[in-house]
C-alpha cells in the first residue's frame, strides 16, 4: 500500500520536530517535505504533490488560511489539516471554509493529530479537543472569484504583500497583473528578482503584466469619477492580454495593485469605492483573484471621523477577505 505523502508547514522548527516524531510512529505515513512560511508551502506543494498538508495559520508572508486558498487551485487533491494555537470558533470556521478538512489545536496534537489524519484520509472532517465546532461550515469549493484587501502598516509591507501575492500566483501558473505607481513597480520587480523569479521571462511571456496606475487612471477617469464604459474597456483589454498567457482550463488570472488606494489617498473616497465595485464586477466575470493593498495610515483612526469610518466599513464589505500586515 502506498504511503500517505505529508508536507509539514510551521515556522517553529521545534514544533515541526514534534510533528515528525508523531508521524514517524506510523509506517503508512511519510513526511516528504517541510516549509516555514506560506509562500514556501505553496511552492513545495506544487513540487512535491503531497496527499496531506499539515498547516499552521500564523505563518510569515501569506498566512496559513491564505495559503490554503491558493492550494485549492494548485494541488486540489491534497487534504489540508490545520495545526494552530488559535482556538476561536471564527478562526476555525474560516480555516475550514478555506479548504481545510480538519483543525487541531497545537496543545492537543499528541492525542489528536493521528486520529485526525485517519479521519481526513477517509474523507471525513475533524475538529479537535478544546475547540468548538463552528456551525454552519460551508462545503469548500474552488473559489470562483477572490477579492482580498490587505491593510499594510508601512510602504515596505505593501511591497512585500504584492511580492508574495505575485510569486504565489506565478508558482500556480496564473498570469498576473500588477497596477501600481512607477516606484512601486520597480521595488516589487527588484524583490521578485532577488527571490529567484525570472522577471524578464515572465514579462516577455505575458505571465506578468505591469501597468502604471497613473496611466490607468488617466484613461478611465471623467470629471473626478471612473467612467463605467472606459473602466470596462481598460479592464477587459488588460485581462484578455493576461488570459492569452494562461495555461489549462478554466483560465484563472490574478491581479494586484493600487488603483482605488491611490484615489483613496487623494481623498477621492467615492471614486475609490466605485472603482472597487467596478473591478469586483469584472473579477466575477473573469473568475479573477485580486489583492488590493491599502496603507493603514490612509484609512485613519477609527472613531475620529464618523463619515470616514462609514466609508472604510463599506470598503471592507466590498472585499471577500480583509487582513492586516
Q: What does the DSSP assignment read for 34-92? A: EESSHHHHHHHHHHH--SEEEE-SS-SSS-HHHHHHHHHHH-TT-EEEEEES---HHHH
Residue 173's pLDDT is what? 83
For the chain, which domains are there? 4-127 (3.40.50.2300), 146-324 (3.40.50.300)
Contact (CB, 8 A) for 102 and 113: no
Q: How far apart are CA 289 and CA 260, in angstroms?
A: 16
Mean pLDDT (10-residue bins), the chain, 325 residues = 90 94 93 92 90 94 85 87 91 90 94 95 90 59 72 88 89 90 95 91 94 96 94 91 77 90 95 93 80 90 74 89 79
Residue 139 dihedral angles phi and psi, to the nearest 5°? -75, 120
Q: In terms of DSSP bridges, do strands 225-226 and 221-222 run parallel, antiparallel, or are they unpaired?
A: antiparallel
pLDDT value, residue 50: 96
Report whether 151 contacts 183 (CB < 8 A): no
Whole-model pTM over 0.85: no
Cα separation of 258 and 212, whole Å? 10
Cα angle 249, 33, 67 (rounded to 5 degrees) comes to 50
* Residues present in the chain in total: 325
State how far the Cα of 86 lies from the Cα of 63, in Å rounded to an integer: 13
Sequence-ordered list of residues with C-beta below 8 angstroms from that of 155, at least 6 positions apart, any chain: 295
Amino acid at each position: 500500500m502506498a504511503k500517505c505523502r505529508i508536507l509539514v508547514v510551521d515556522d517553529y522548527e521545534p514544533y515541526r520536530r514534534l510533528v515528525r516524531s508523531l508521524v514517524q510512529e506510523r509506517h503508512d505515513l511519510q513526511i516528504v517535505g517541510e516549509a516555514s512560511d506560506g509562500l514556501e508551502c505553496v511552492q513545495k506543494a506544487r513540487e512535491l504533490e503531497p496527499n496531506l498538508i499539515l498547516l499552521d495559520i500564523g505563518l510569515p508572508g501569506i498566512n496559513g488560511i491564505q495559503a490554503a486558498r491558493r492550494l485549492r487551485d494548485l494541488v486540489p487533491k491534497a487534504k489540508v489539516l490545520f495545526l494552530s494555537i488559535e482556538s476561536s470558533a471564527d478562526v476555525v470556521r474560516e480555516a475550514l471554509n478555506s479548504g481545510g478538512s480538519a483543525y487541531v489545536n497545537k496543545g492537543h496534537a499528541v492525542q489528536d493529530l493521528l486520529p485526525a489524519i485517519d479521519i481526513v484520509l477517509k474523507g471525513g472532517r475533524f475538529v479537535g479537543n478544546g475547540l468548538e465546532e463552528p456551525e454552519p461550515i460551508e462545503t469548500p469549493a474552488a473559489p470562483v472569484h477572490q477579492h482580498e484587501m490587505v491593510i499594510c502598516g508601512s510602504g515596505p509591507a505593501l511591497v512585500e504583500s504584492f511580492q508574495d501575492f505575485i510569486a504565489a500566483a506565478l508558482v500556480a501558473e496564473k498570469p498576473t497583473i500588477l497596477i501600481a505607481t512607477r516606484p512601486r513597480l520597480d521595488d516589487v520587480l527588484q524583490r521578485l528578482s532577488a527571490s529567484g523569479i525570472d522577471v524578464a521571462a515572465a514579462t516577455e511571456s505575458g505571465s506578468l503584466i505591469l501597468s502604471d496606475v497613473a496611466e490607468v487612471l488617466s484613461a478611465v477617469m471623467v470629471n473626478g469619477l471612473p467612467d463605467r464604459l472606459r473602466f470596462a474597456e481598460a479592464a477587459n483589454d488588460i485581462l484578455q492580454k493576461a488570459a492569452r498567457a494562461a495555461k489549462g482550463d478554466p483560465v484563472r488570472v490574478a491581479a494586484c495593485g493600487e488603483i482605488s488606494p491611490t484615489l483613496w489617498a487623494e481623498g477621492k473616497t467615492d471614486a475609490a469605492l466605485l472603482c472597487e465595485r467596478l473591478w469586483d464586477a469584472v473579477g466575477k466575470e473573469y473568475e479573477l483573484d485580486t489583492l488590493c493593498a491599502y496603507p493603514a495610515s490612509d484609512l485613519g483612526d477609527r472613531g475620529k471621523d464618523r463619515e470616514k469610518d462609514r466609508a472604510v466599513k463599506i470598503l471592507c464589505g466590498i472585499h471577500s477577505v480583509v487582513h492586516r500586515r
